[in-house]
Amino acid sequence: MPKFCANLSFMFQEYALPDRFTAARNAGFKFIEYTFPYDHDPEILASLLKQNQLKQVLINLPPGNLEAGDLGLASDPDRIEEFRRSVGQALAYAKTLGVSRINCLSGKRIKGVPYEEQRLVLVENLRFASSRLAADNRLLLVEPINTFDEPDFFVHTSGDAIALIEAVQASNLFLQYDVYHMQKMEGNLTESLRTYLPRIGHIQISDNPGRHQPGTGEINYRFLLDELDRLRYKGFVGLEYFPTGETLASLDWIKDWGFAL
């Protein structure tokens, strides 16, 4: 049975963030994730987790300036020190929140900078971050993002991410496999999951097109989630989707397909 976690950056947007914890608990969730906690006091967030008997399983490293178009710092040769400071910031939050997985967004291609130069910076930054997290007994993840939604994103296929993992050679560096992104970039989802499962540290799901809940698009999630059970996947499945309508109604597929929270 998949261990579903609610992504509070996408779900329960009917509520302010503090109330999303309670809404997730009331819906039956035991696990949550969300993207960036850094605008909030970590002690307050930890208190919300405790009050609602929730476990947080994932955060991302600080992305840079989202409003200016940043989506990660890890491949930027001019921001290495900023990236490394961000690892310390993420670790401090992870300790307070009890989070064991931290996802690294690679950032975007930079005009005028050769691809190989950016890749070398990314490898060294992943090596640095994985070492810092390993000393604290935490996993580092690297996530490919599709180039239809983010045309300049640096890592955009599972093969790219696996090549980085092999270059870094860190035992705590894994692939964050987002089914929505990989459907848009690669398809062949079942074979991909079978091939890469030993390297996967976290899975996120949403349907395509629209990035809504399973059952609203072309991906056969009922088969795919059963396949994860057949493959004995023991990790979490993050529901990183935009609900059509209210979030609670968007969860009907879980019970209808024989799953549970």
Per-residue pLDDT, 3: 97
Say if strands 200-205 and 59-60 run parallel, antiparallel, or are unpaired: unpaired
Per-residue pLDDT, 260: 96
Q: What does the pLDDT look like over 108-134, one tens digit per residue?
A: 999 999 999 999 999 999 999 999 999
Per-residue pLDDT, 9: 98
Q: What is the percentage of the chain residues whose pLDDT exceeds 90?
A: 100
Q: Which of 14, 116, 117, 143 is catalytic?
A: 143
Q: What does the pLDDT look like over 55-77, one tens digit per residue?
A: 999 999 999 999 999 999 999 99
**Sheet with 139-142, edge to edge strand ranges:** 55-56, 31-33, 3-7, 236-239, 200-205, 173-178, 139-142, 101-104, 59-60
Q: What does the pLDDT look like over 179-221, one tens digit per residue?
A: 999 999 999 999 999 999 999 999 999 999 999 999 999 999 9
Instruction: State mean pLDDT over 240-251.
Output: 97
Residue 43 annotated as catalytic: no
CATH level 2 (architecture), domain 3-256: Alpha-Beta Barrel (3.20)
Instruction: State mean pLDDT over 140-148.
Output: 98
Instruction: State mean pLDDT over 84-92.
Output: 98
Q: What does the pLDDT look like over 40-50, one tens digit per residue?
A: 999 999 999 99
Q: Cα–Cα–Cα angle for 237, 127, 139, nearest 5°?
A: 25
Instruction: State mean pLDDT over 8-27.
Output: 97
Residue 143 annotated as catalytic: yes
Q: Which of 124, 150, 240, 246 is catalytic?
A: 240
What are the residue boundaries of the structural domains of the chain, listed by start? Answer: 3-256
Per-residue pLDDT, 237: 98
Per-residue pLDDT, 127: 98
Instruction: State mean pLDDT over 227-247.
Output: 97
